[in-house]
Amino acid sequence: MKQMIKILVIEDEKNILSFISSVLTSQKYQVISAVNGRDGLSQAASQCPDLILLDLGLPDMDGMTIIKRIREWNSTPIIVISARIQEEDKVQALDQGADDYITKPFGNSELLARIRTALRHSSQFRTDASSSGSSYHSGDLTIDFEKRLVTRNGQEIHLTQNEFKIIALLARNSGKVLLYDRLIEHIWGPYSENDNTILRVNMANIRRKIEPNPAEPVYIFTEIGVGYRMAEED
Ligand code: CA
């Protein structure tokens, strides 16, 4: 029998906890839960979950502290679930080591999609070909990482070197949001100006080249104030 994937849900609101539990159980995930941070941390250590869903607003502890503590000793994917919508919170949670976030209220299909993505990527930040496939496919778009070739409907799209680096990094992490700062650091190096303008200019050019309608992107989505997320592979 296949081993069930175990998900730890740390959430103090009973109705949300029971909603998540029933969605996950119906998809044959094994669910364990905690209604406060202390119990959550202890279960994260003793139960070895495959993934953690974490509410940021807990009665005894700030969710950011929990992410930090867990990251001191393990790399289990963490998806933050939160009613907080401030961009700073999203950025901070991802910076502390969370893999993704989902804002309340959310539906079951969105929740399940985020979980699948996080499990597939685990918490590795993928930057090289050895850690993923050699190509990316979504809709009419194909990226061949080794040949550095991007095509749409079989037609080659000419990208500059930096444009290719950006799209390749996003594609290798498809489905995950990548922070502006991380992208800038990866493309232009750790001493680059912490300024999004050059990234935005490059993204506008990439979208003009790859998107059927750059005003309504279908391949690379903007997470306002946070970063970019590339469409999942088909
Ligand atoms: Ca809460």
Residue 53: inside a domain, yes or no? yes
Q: Please tell me the distance between residue 162's alpha carbon and the centre of ligand 1 in angstroms.
A: 41
Span from the CA of 63 to the centroid of ligand 1 (angstroms): 9
Ligand 1 centre to CA of 55 (Å) is: 6
Q: For residue 130, give both structure tokens.
A: 């050895």
Residue 100 lies in a domain: yes
The pLDDT of 205-224, averaged and rounded, is: 95
**The last residue of a domain, from among 118, 152, 181:** 118
84-88, 151-155, 165-169: range with lowest mean pLDDT: 84-88
Q: What's the whole-number average pLDDT of the chain?
A: 90
Confidence of residue 44 (pLDDT cuts 50, 70, 90): very high
pLDDT reported for residue 128: 54
Range of the domain at 156: 133-230
78-118-100-84 Cα dihedral, nearest 10 degrees = -70
Element (H, E) at 156: strand 155-157
- CATH code of the domain containing 62: 3.40.50.2300
Classify residue 1: in a domain, yes or no.
Answer: no
Claim to verify: residue 166 and residue 112 sit in the same structural domain = no
CA of residue 185 to ligand 1 center, whole Å = 34
Rounded distance from Cα 135 to ligand 1 centre (Å): 40
Residue 118 Cα, ligand 1 centroid: separation in angstroms? Answer: 22
Give distance in angstroms: CA of 229 to centre of ligand 1: 26
Q: How many separate domains does the chain show?
A: 2
How much is the average pLDDT of 46-73? 93
Instruction: Measure 11 CA to ligand 1 centroid, in angstroms.
Output: 6
Q: Which two tokens stand for residue 98?
A: 């969370």
| 123 in any annotated domain | no
pTM above 0.85, yes or no: no
Q: Which of 36-50, 69-83, 129-143 is predicted with the least confidence, judged by mean pLDDT?
A: 129-143
124 domain residue, yes or no: no
Residue 90 lies in a domain: yes
Interval 96-100 mean pLDDT: 91
Overall average pLDDT of the 81-107 stretch = 87
Annotate 79-107 with DSSP letters as a single string. Answer: EEEES---HHHHHHHHHHT--EEEESS--
Q: Does residue 88 carry a pLDDT above 60? A: yes
Q: What is the pLDDT of residue 122?
A: 65
The top-scoring range by mean pLDDT among 10-19, 92-101, 195-204 is: 10-19
C-alpha 227 to ligand 1 mean position (Å): 25
Residue 217 belongs to a domain = yes
The arithmetic mean of pLDDT across residues 6-13, rounded, is 96
Kind of pairing between the strands at 78-82 and 51-55: parallel
Name the more confident of 185 and 50.
50
pLDDT (average), residues 129-157: 87
* Alpha helix ranges (H) inside 74-212: 87-96, 108-121, 161-172, 180-188, 197-210
Q: Is 178 or 122 the better-scoring residue by pLDDT?
A: 178
